[in-house]
Amino acid sequence: MAEAREIMTTTRYCALITIDKWGRAQARTMDAFAPDEKMAVWFGTNPLSRKVAEIRNHPRVTLYYFDRENQAYVTIHGTARVVNDAQEKARHWKDDWKAFYPDRDKSYALIEVRPTRLEVVNTKKGLLGDSKTWRPPTVVF
């Protein structure tokens, strides 16, 4: 868990993968907050975006963090929900985003992903998958 948290914290961006209405995977780059104490991950987004509609229709998502320098990655499978609570939005805000969300009340929503399973590999630190199947070290929540 410590290795996964380190990768997730030092890798600013990750891919959020949702399922669209045709059952196809849709990936996009997201500027995530560091995982909380339960490894939940929060993102800011436009409440009118496709990802919000996809999450409302199919809340199971995947997050993928990749650290090229250390040949490391974290994959999180989890359940997402859209949050429009004013206190949470104030808590999960980056000033870099002001240009994207001029009206934080209307143009800004949050996505919270609660993990159900986590996989982690860090080649440089010797945290590797099974030598035959390549199955990575896994944590089930």
pLDDT of residue 104: 86
pLDDT of 9 > 90? The answer is yes
- The CATH number of the domain holding residue 63 is 2.30.110.10
pLDDT digits (tens, 9 = 90+) for 93-122: 999 899 999 888 899 999 999 999 999 999
pLDDT of residue 12: 86
Quote the CA–CA distance of 106 and 93 in Å, as a whole number.
14
pLDDT category of residue 139 using cuts at 50, 70 and 90: very high
pLDDT of residue 105: 86
pTM here is: 0.94
pLDDT of residue 84: 95
Number of domains present in the structure of the chain: 1
Answer yes or no: are the C-beta atoms of 37 and 47 closer than 8 Å. no
DSSP type of residue 92: S
Domain that holds residue 111: 2-140
DSSP 3-state of 5: helix
pLDDT digits (tens, 9 = 90+) for 61-88: 999 999 999 999 999 999 999 999 999 9
> What is the DSSP pairing of strand 72-83 with strand 109-122?
antiparallel
User: Quick one: tokens of 8?
Assistant: 């997730």
Answer yes or no: are the C-beta atoms of 135 and 117 closer than 8 Å. no
DSSP 3-state of 49: coil
pLDDT digits (tens, 9 = 90+) for 10-55: 998 999 999 999 999 999 999 999 999 999 999 999 999 999 999 9
Answer yes or no: are the C-beta atoms of 62 and 76 closer than 8 Å. yes
Give the bridge partners for 45, in sequence order. Answer: 109
